[in-house]
Structure 1
Amino acid sequence: MSAKRRVLAVSNQKGGVGKTTTAINLGTALAAIGQRVLIVDMDPQGNASTGLGVPRETRRVTIYDVIVDGRSVDDAAVATAVPGLHIIPADADMSGVEIELSQADRRSYRLRDALASQATGAGAPFDYVLIDCPPSLNLLTLNAMAAADAVLVPLQCEFFALEGLTQLMKTVDMVRQSLNPKLEIQGLVLTMYDRRNALSGQVEADVRAHFGDKVYDSVIPRNVRVSEAPSFGKPALIYDLKCAGSQAYLRLAREVVARERVRLRAA
């Protein structure tokens, strides 16, 4: 699929919904089923990098160097312990990008240009690029959405979920009009689902009623092992493959690939 590489921005402007957890574990699950995956850590906190076992002191070339200084994707991509999974790490330098690029040409397209250059190079090995976005609308998020084919939205099963989603949809519309007319919603992933809690079921029903088949069938349960895994610098699938959360991300990965095959056949 590398000739038809799919770039997905994992985004929700509401914090704490499982964006980074989804980027890490969906990326790992896609790699586990034979896809070559690049995760781009666009959050200055660098949690995706930490969660994939890339210590801060080893982050010599980061997404900051790519966006601000024009370093190549190949220079910045680091192999993880998961075969087929690479990451471009982030660090706190990313916090200054907005100011440093305030007068720069194509300031909203820096990531897109870097990925396009890599795609035409000799390697171009990735089937999927997952961009872990910060939980805010800033230049980093705009770069991610300008570079993406589609947005994958993790959605926590809680009371204010739909409110945050409305805000995100407005952002996607704005980006479509001004930066990336082809941007679409890839799908919505329900996260932190608790079957013992009636509210989770109600949120699921509401979201499926609003968005229909845009909502993935695979639902990510609230799971202690998934929460523990980042503190060991491992994706949940490496930390505990058999736990409910890991199995849910494997199902999600298969569903993402299956939907992508349907999309390509219809194109």
Structure 2
Amino acid sequence: MNEFGTGTGIEHTATQPQRLARVLAIANQKGGVGKTTTAINLATALAAVGEKVLLIDSDPQGNATTGLGVAHEDRGQGTYELLIGEASFAETIHATQVPNLSIIPATMELSGAELELMDLDRRQHRLADALDAAGADLDYDHVLIDCPPSLTLLTVNAMAAADAVLVPLQCEFFALEGLSQLLRTVERVRSSLNPALEVQGVVLTMFDKRNNLSEQVAADVRGFLGDKVYDTVIPRNIRLSEAPSHGVPALIYDLRCPGSTAYLALAREVMRRERALRDAA
């Protein structure tokens, strides 16, 4: 058995029920690329421009939950209970200090979910099934999923539930190698679990304009993926690194810093791409 259900009798899902919200999985199998920073600050930026956003923390480290100021003792039921069927979406959603932004938190129990999911029916589709069960009651413009930095059943659940994947990519020497691995994972999920899955875009993170390597990596990635790469780049910025220790997104910690400005620009770009997809449908 593997994460993709080869030989497990899991049915191939040809179509997904129509949902009101678009679901974006924020994923990269490599750690340290700004994935959770992107999840927190993109969600906050979307909320800041009036969109109603739900962030699902599917990383057992729970950094997105911590970064939005939700203390361990206040988390209650979260992603773990949702995946194993002990709670519904309504029972796991928590408000945050950011208007228009809610979160389904990661708790300590999520670290053991991998083993429990192996014995459950439709183990790759637990999150998708929960989303579909919520239906019109899931009243959000965007649902973002912060994935673990590895290919696990939690990541596969996120991709099986998502309409698209948003990939944060650090401007470093091995960036394209890691990206190729992730694109192969997306293709495997699309072929076996979620035929509608696509890559919505790749966002370049930790960009240092003083570093020739950053410029070279950006040029290589744009040459490889073309317009799949967002115009917005996220700069290497100390305020982005400091904000989580204060339990707030960078946009609250320092709205005018280059990192916050970049995530606001990324939010507008994501919305334009989503709007274009809806208009083309």
Question: If the length of structure 2 is used for normalisation, what is the TM-score?
Answer: 0.92
Q: Secondary structure at the match of 1:217?
A: strand
For 1:21 and 1:102, locate their aligned partners in 2 and report how far apart those are by CA, in whole Å: 29
Deviations 1:76-113 (A, max 9, x none): 11110010000000022112112112221111111111
Q: 2:231 aligns with which of 217, 223, 231?
A: 217
Aligned position for 1:89:
105
Aligned position for 2:280:
266
Aligned position for 1:152:
166
Aligned position for 1:62:
78
Q: Is 1:118 equivalent to 2:108 in the alignment?
A: no
Q: Is 1:42 equivalent to 2:58 in the alignment?
A: yes
Q: Secondary structure at the match of 2:40?
A: helix
How does 1:10-49 map onto structure 2 within 5 Å? Answer: 10-49=26-65
Give the drift of 1:252.
Answer: 0.3
Q: Is 1:242 equivalent to 2:256 in the alignment?
A: yes
Aligned position for 1:143:
157
Deviating more after overlay: 127-136 vs 68-77: 68-77
After the TM superposition, list the runs of 4 or more consecutive aligned residues in structure 1 that deviate by more than 6 angstroms: none
Query: Measured at CA, do residues 238 and 258 of structure 1 come closer, stay the same or move farther in structure 2, by a change above 3 Å?
Result: same
Aligned position for 1:130:
144
Aligned position for 1:104:
120
How does 1:219-234 map onto structure 2 within 5 Å? Answer: 219-234=233-248
Instruction: In structure 2, give the amino acid aligned to 1:140.
Output: L
Deviations 1:116-166 (A, max 9, x none): 122233xx2211011000011010001000000000000000001111101
Instruction: In structure 2, give the amino acid aligned to 1:85.
Output: L
Give the drift of 1:70.
Answer: 3.5
Query: RMSD of the TM alignment (CA)?
Result: 1.1
Instruction: In structure 2, give the amino acid aligned to 1:154.
Output: P
For 2:81 and 2:184, locate their aligned partners in 1 and report how far apart those are by CA, in whole Å: 30
- Indicate if the aligned counterparts of 2:26 and 2:167 stay in contact, CA closer than 8 A: yes
Instruction: In structure 1, give the amino acid aligned to 2:188.
Output: M
Identity value in percent: 65
Give the drift of 1:178.
Answer: 0.8
Deviating more after overlay: 222-231 vs 109-118: 109-118
Aligned position for 1:183:
197
Unaligned runs of 5+ in 2: 1-17
Deviating more after overlay: 101-110 vs 31-40: 101-110
For 1:152 and 1:97, locate their aligned partners in 2 and report how far apart those are by CA, in whole Å: 24
Query: Measured at CA, do residues 262 and 115 of structure 1 come closer, stay the same or move farther in structure 2, by a change above 3 Å?
Result: same
Q: 1:169 aligns with which of 183, 193, 199?
A: 183
Give the drift of 1:24.
Answer: 0.2
Q: Secondary structure at the match of 2:28?
A: coil
- Indicate if the aligned counterparts of 2:19 and 2:132 stay in contact, CA closer than 8 A: no
Aligned position for 2:221:
207
- Indicate if the aligned counterparts of 1:70 and 1:114 stay in contact, CA closer than 8 A: no
